[in-house]
């Protein structure tokens, strides 16, 4: 039942925070922090009690047995890393929003904690119907966070976010139902259980199109080009806590879905499609960096940098070897910390100078030395400086991809150069230059400095010694690797310009006929 409590604690804390607003304005904040901190300790306790089994904990209860639907929750190393990341950033988000959110505080924390509960369900559910339930559950409260507490164009951004993610989710539902019905027809067993659906023999053309439904749903959430256009608007208009949760948590559900479902459920189709997916990853890396370079809005710059960084995740997933997959896990954690911190920095700055326009920022380092130092750390982490977490993740992904395609590795490596350009431009335009004589800005306070300093420790620790994350995720990576068909270990992906791409093209052409 401990896995169920991982989801129920944020739900209970959210409703308690909503009701506590009538007693004191700060009561919802304290309740939210206590609920998330307790959940974090519970997750750590589950990690500590895990043995040598790749699956650390499991829970299965009947829900709708007539349809083969169960309340099935399972925790392995991959899930554990993302659960701990979700809860840690949840605590950070509550602290970050302490002064920013002053209206409907209880409802805000209810929406925030329901979003986190939905995300935790996504990372734990291994009944496909239950997984879809949690996938949809996290969308509505997140849309409320953007639409009710966001900035000028918040309604537009919330609707766009909801339509993109809801539409792609319905496409995934069609794929889930198709897979379940085909399994029922072949075996006579109606089930949504992940483990029973693994290894299902499918016609290559059918497998390709079912896999495509999952792939689109997850790459919209990742997001990858060409499904990325909702992200900059959602990030720009969301409150600071909303941006932190979007960048640090919600985007990771896309990468998790690719690792957990697309590769294991459809190994042949995924291997055939890998060259196309890897190409989209490279395009996302370069295109996101190019758009980040062109932004004057500091928040949009950070948002487009997320598209670039998550392109490495897509590339590493479909490189599909142990080094690349381990790099994907490290990259997801490092991106969550560094980009989440940058969104916090933008929020703290906007609260003080009431603008995000880099064209009117100059010499902030003279007024805000602590702010400038912390901004520098996370900006250079974003560009992949050795010794910080992003470098480890991106380097491992490139190393794993090199074994599959040197061309794609070389193209993706250009993303490191473009990241340095936009990160250094952000530093130069915001922090350096002549300070404005008409501006006297207070520096970060103790609470803000402490939160960012903690994230500095995390990103530096991940860069210097990533082994704890690699060890924790090893079981989950092994579970993904076990699904790969031996005959595809080298051939289909090793030369994407040859067999892999032609196979994907053949499947599409056969389907069209």
Residues of the chain with pLDDT under 50: 485-513
Q: What is the DSSP string of 62-91?
A: EEEGGGTEEEEEEEEHHHHHHHHHHHHHHH
Orientation of helix 128-137 relative to helix 154-187, angle to 10°: 170
Q: What's the angle, vertex CA 242, arms to CA 239 and CA 243, rounded to 5? A: 90
Q: What is the DSSP string of 378-439?
A: HHHHHTT-TTSHHHHHHHHHHHHHHTT-HHHHHHHHHHHHHHHHHHHHHHHHHHSSPPPTT-
- CA 168 – CA 429 distance, rounded (Å): 38
**Are the beta carbons of 297 and 430 closer than 8 angstroms?**
no
Which three-class secondary structure state does DSSP give residue 297? strand
CB-based burial label for 66 (10 Å; 0-12, 13-18, 19+): exposed
Contacts of 22 (CB under 8 A, 6+ apart): none
Residue 509 confidence (pLDDT): 39
- CA 384 – CA 242 distance, rounded (Å): 25
- CA 21 – CA 102 distance, rounded (Å): 11
**Are the beta carbons of 343 and 302 closer than 8 angstroms?**
yes
Q: Which residues pair with 59 in a beta bridge?
A: 73
Question: Cα 355 from chain centroid?
Answer: 27
Q: What is the DSSP string of 358-392?
A: GGG---HHHH-HHHHHHHHHHHHHHTT-TTSHHHH
Residue 54 confidence (pLDDT): 77
Residue 51 confidence (pLDDT): 58
> CB 3: neighbour CB atoms within 10 A?
25
pTM of the shown model:
0.91
Contacts of 467 (CB under 8 A, 6+ apart): none
Residue 483 confidence (pLDDT): 65
- CA 281 – CA 70 distance, rounded (Å): 35
Residue 1 confidence (pLDDT): 78
Which three-class secondary structure state does DSSP give residue 269? helix
Residue 363 confidence (pLDDT): 86
Sign of CA dihedral 407, 410, 413, 415: negative
> CB 398: neighbour CB atoms within 10 A?
23
Residue 199 confidence (pLDDT): 81
């Amino acid at each position: 039942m401990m896995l169920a409590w991982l989801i129920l604690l944020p739900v209970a804390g959210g409703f308690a925070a909503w009701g506590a607003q009538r007693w004191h304005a700060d009561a919802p904040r304290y309740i939210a922090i206590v609920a998330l901190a307790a959940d974090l300790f519970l997750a750590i306790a589950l990690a500590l009690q895990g043995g040598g089994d790749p699956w650390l904990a499991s829970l299965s209860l009947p829900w709708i047995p007539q349809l083969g639907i169960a309340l099935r929750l399972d925790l392995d190393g991959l899930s554990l890393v993302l659960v701990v990341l979700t809860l840690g950033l949840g605590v950070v988000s509550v602290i970050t929003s302490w002064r920013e959110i002053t209206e409907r505080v209880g409802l805000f924390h209810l929406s925030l904690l329901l979003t986190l509960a939905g995300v935790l369900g996504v990372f734990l559910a291994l009944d496909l119907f239950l997984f879809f339930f949690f996938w949809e559950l996290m969308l509505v409260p997140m849309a409320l966070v953007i639409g009710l507490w966001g900035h000028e164009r918040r309604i537009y951004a919330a609707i766009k976010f909801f339509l993109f993610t809801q539409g792609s989710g319905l496409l995934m539902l069609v794929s889930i139902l198709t897979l379940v019905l085909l399994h029922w027809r072949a075996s006579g067993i109606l089930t949504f259980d992940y483990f029973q659906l693994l290894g299902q023999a499918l016609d290559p053309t059918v497998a390709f199109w079912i896999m495509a439904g999952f792939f689109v749903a997850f790459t919209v959430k990742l997001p990858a080009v060409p499904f990325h256009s909702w992200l900059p608007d959602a990030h720009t208009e969301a409150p600071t806590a909303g941006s932190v949760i979007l960048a640090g948590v919600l985007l990771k559900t896309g990468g998790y879905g690719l690792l957990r479902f697309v590769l294991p459920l459809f190994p042949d189709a995924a291997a055939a499609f890998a060259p196309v997916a890897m190409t989209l990853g490279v395009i996302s890396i370069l295109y996101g960096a190019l758009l980040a370079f062109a932004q004057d809005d500091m928040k949009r710059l950070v948002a487009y940098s997320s598209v670039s960084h998550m392109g490495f995740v897509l590339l590493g997933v479909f490189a599909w070897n142990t080094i690349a997959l381990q790099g994907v896990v490290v990259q997801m954690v490092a991106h969550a910390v560094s980009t989440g911190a940058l969104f916090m920095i933008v929020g703290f700055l906007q609260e003080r100078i009431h603008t995000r326009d880099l064209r009117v920022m100059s010499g902030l380092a003279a007024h805000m030395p602590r702010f400038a130092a912390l901004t520098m750390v996370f900006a250079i982490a974003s560009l992949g400086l050795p010794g910080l977490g992003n470098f480890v993740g991106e380097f491992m992904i490139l190393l794993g991809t090199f074994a599959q395609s040197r061309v794609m590795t070389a193209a993706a490596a250009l993303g490191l150069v473009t990241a340095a350009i936009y990160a250094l431009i952000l530093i130069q335009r915001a922090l350096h230059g002549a300070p404005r004589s008409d501006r006297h800005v207070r520096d970060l306070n103790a609470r803000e400095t402490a939160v960012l300093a903690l994230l500095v420790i995390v990103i530096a620790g991940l860069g210097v010694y990533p082994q704890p994350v690699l060890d924790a995720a090893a079981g989950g990576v092994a579970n993904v690797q076990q699904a790969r068909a031996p005959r595809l270990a080298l051939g289909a992906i090793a030369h994407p310009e040859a067999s892999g791409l032609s196979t994907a093209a053949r499947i599409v052409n056969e389907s069209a006929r």
